């Protein structure tokens, strides 16, 4: 029996919960052309799944060439260009021989790095990061390829806030110059950082000013998601207790990935004869925490003592406000207000903590649970 709670890969329409308005708006944007889109929302709330779902629609696949680039782990413009080149290569080679030839003939800066698959004679992307010795030229060639594509292209750049961490100068100007001059492509940018998006797209002094419409992706509608879960368990003749839904929501605060992961595991367990009650659910969540324990231990090992102490304090409060106040410092036995200020700047830079509506929270709920259990 197919598990309806998808955590990786494509999501079939019958397993895609809610997001009706967002799907309609993004699909309309993709098909109409002429508009770039920014999708802003917390991590693991479904931004990538939304894009992939729209990209997988038949009418989209028929009319446009879609490209998806996740730049979360990039730390330089050179890495960005490498990933973009690889993505364009894969899309063009799979599209048609004509598109493949466009890429090979246009990418002069990489012409010495093609390999060929021996059986079918198709080119292989044999480029290494260090082979991109003239990044600006390669970037221009990539966008020339996109301009020459048979179909209009939609390029989704996931975690776009990463460009702010690149050491190269004028990254925004270089990217905006190529992106905003494209006549055969539109772009979808995603980010989990509201401040970055406001600065980049709403500040008149920045090169991306007013170059994209902004869509805010909130947590799934609580009632609709509960109905989604109950319906799929019921349709499969599996038992689930209603209080489980309250437990999962109270632990993960609408984090779509973690909620789907819990119910994915619970569904599998129920197929083996179990009932999805609170005990089973707590066991699943505990297993999820323990699986990440080694990773979290390594994360903490890189922090200073004041940073660790503040992280534990925020985990205890869940929503921590007025963290430099004497009450907060005394209650959590922290060193001083200046120490807290220095620590919170680092925790924010590391992406371990976010500021949400005036309170500091640990964005990864599993990390929060692990800290409370440590």
Q: Is the pLDDT of residue 151 over 70?
A: yes
Give residue 342's pLDDT: 97
List phi, psi (to 5°) of 189: -110, 140
Q: Is the pLDDT of residue 135 over 90?
A: yes
Give residue 356's pLDDT: 85
Tens of pLDDT, residue by residue over 325-335, are: 999 999 999 99
Give residue 189's pLDDT: 98
Angle between helices 293-301 and 278-291 (to 10 degrees): 40
- Summarize the confidence of residues 135-152 as an average pLDDT: 96
Cβ(47)–Cβ(63) below 8 Å: no
Tens of pLDDT, residue by residue over 281-320, are: 999 999 999 999 999 999 999 999 999 999 999 999 999 9
Give residue 254's pLDDT: 87
- Summarize the confidence of residues 132-148 as an average pLDDT: 96
Q: Is the pLDDT of residue 118 over 90?
A: no
Mean residue pLDDT of the chain comes to 94
Cβ(314)–Cβ(363) below 8 Å: no
- The CATH class for the domain spanning 302-373 reads mainly alpha
Q: Is the pLDDT of residue 114 over 90?
A: no
Tens of pLDDT, residue by residue over 10-48, are: 898 999 998 999 999 999 999 998 799 999 999 889 999
Give residue 122's pLDDT: 75
- Summarize the confidence of residues 152-156 as an average pLDDT: 97
- Summarize the confidence of residues 196-215 as an average pLDDT: 96
Q: Is the pLDDT of residue 121 over 70?
A: no
Going by pLDDT thresholds of 50, 70 and 90, the confidence category of residue 201 is very high
Cβ(262)–Cβ(285) below 8 Å: yes
Q: Is the pLDDT of residue 143 over 90?
A: yes
Q: Is the pLDDT of residue 262 over 90?
A: yes
Q: Quick one: 358 exposed, middle or buried, by C-beta within 10 A (0-12, 13-18, 19+)? A: exposed
Under CATH, which number does the domain 19-216 receive?
3.40.50.300
List phi, psi (to 5°) of 265: -70, -40
Cβ(178)–Cβ(155) below 8 Å: no
Give residue 9's pLDDT: 83
Give residue 112's pLDDT: 81
pTM, 2 dp: 0.89
Angle between helices 135-148 and 97-106 (to 10 degrees): 150
- Summarize the confidence of residues 182-203 as an average pLDDT: 95
Give residue 358's pLDDT: 87
The residue among 130, 22, 11, 27 whose CA lies nearest residue 78 is: 130
- Summarize the confidence of residues 255-278 as an average pLDDT: 95
Q: Is the pLDDT of residue 257 over 80?
A: yes
Q: Side by side, which strands form the sheet with 185-191?
A: 64-70, 152-158, 185-191, 37-40, 213-216
Q: What CA–CA distance (Å, rounded) separates 274 from 291?
A: 22
From residue 248, alpha-carbon distances to 43, 70, 270, 283, 366 in Å are 17, 28, 17, 12, 12
From residue 252, alpha-carbon distances to 17, 31, 248 in Å are 17, 34, 6
DSSP alpha helix (H) spans, the chain: 20-32, 47-55, 58-63, 77-95, 97-106, 135-148, 171-180, 194-202, 222-235, 242-252, 256-271, 278-291, 293-301, 305-317, 326-331, 337-349, 365-373
Q: Is the pLDDT of residue 273 over 70?
A: yes
Q: Which residues, other chains included, contact 119 with Cβ-Cβ below 8 Å and sequence gap of 6+?
A: none
Q: What CA–CA distance (Å, rounded) separates 143 from 52?
A: 22
- In three-state form (DSSP H/G/I as H, E/B as E, the rest C), the secondary structure along 268-333 is HHHHCCCCECHHHHHHHHHHHHHHCHHHHHHHHHCCCHHHHHHHHHHHHHCCECCCCCHHHHHHCC
Tens of pLDDT, residue by residue over 220-237, are: 999 999 999 999 999 999
Going by pLDDT thresholds of 50, 70 and 90, the confidence category of residue 178 is very high
3-class secondary structure, 79: helix
Q: What CA–CA distance (Å, rounded) separates 191 from 162?
A: 9
The residue among 356, 252, 362, 355 whose CA lies nearest residue 308 is: 362
Percentage of the chain beyond pLDDT 70 is 99
């Amino acid at each position: 029996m197919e598990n309806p709670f998808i955590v990786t890969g494509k999501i079939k329409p019958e397993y895609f919960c809610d997001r009706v308005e967002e799907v309609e708006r993004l699909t309309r944007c993709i098909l109409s052309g002429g508009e770039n889109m920014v999708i802003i929302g917390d991590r693991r709330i479904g931004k990538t799944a939304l894009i992939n779902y729209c990209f997988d629609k038949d009418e989209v696949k028929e009319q446009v060439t879609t490209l998806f680039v996740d730049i979360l782990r990039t730390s330089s413009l050179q890495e960005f260009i490498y990933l973009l080149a690889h993505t364009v290569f894969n899309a063009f080679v799979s599209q048609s021989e004509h598109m493949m030839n466009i890429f090979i003939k246009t990418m002069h800066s990489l012409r010495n790095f093609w390999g060929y698959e021996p059986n079918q004679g198709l080119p292989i992307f044999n480029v290494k990061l260090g082979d991109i010795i003239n990044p600006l030229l390669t970037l221009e060639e990539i966008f020339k390829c996109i301009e020459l594509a048979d179909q209009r292209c939609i390029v989704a750049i996931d975690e776009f806030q990463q460009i702010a961490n690149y050491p190269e100068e004028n990254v925004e100007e270089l990217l905006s110059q190529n992106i905003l001059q494209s006549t055969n492509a539109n772009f979808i940018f995603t980010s989990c950082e509201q401040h970055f998006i406001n600065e980049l797209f709403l500040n008149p002094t920045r090169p991306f000013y007013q170059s994209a419409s902004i869509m805010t992706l909130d947590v799934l509608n609580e009632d609709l998601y509960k109905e989604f879960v109950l319906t799929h368990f019921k349709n499969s003749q599996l038992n689930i207790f209603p209080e489980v839904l309250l437990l999962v929501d109270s632990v993960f605060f609408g984090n779509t990935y973690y909620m789907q992961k819990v119910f994915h595991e619970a569904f599998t367990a129920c197929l083996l004869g179990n009932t999805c009650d609170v005990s089973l659910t707590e066991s699943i969540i505990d297993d999820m925490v323990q699986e990440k324990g080694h990773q979290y231990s390594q994360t903490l090992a890189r922090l200073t003592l004041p940073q660790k102490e503040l992280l534990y304090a925020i985990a205890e409060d869940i929503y921590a406000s007025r963290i430099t106040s004497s009450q907060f410092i005394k209650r959590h036995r922290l060193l001083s207000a200046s120490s807290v200020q220095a620590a919170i700047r680092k925790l924010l830079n590391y992406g371990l903590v976010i500021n949400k509506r005036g309170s500091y929270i640990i964005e990864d709920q599993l990390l929060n649970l692990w800290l409370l259990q440590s």
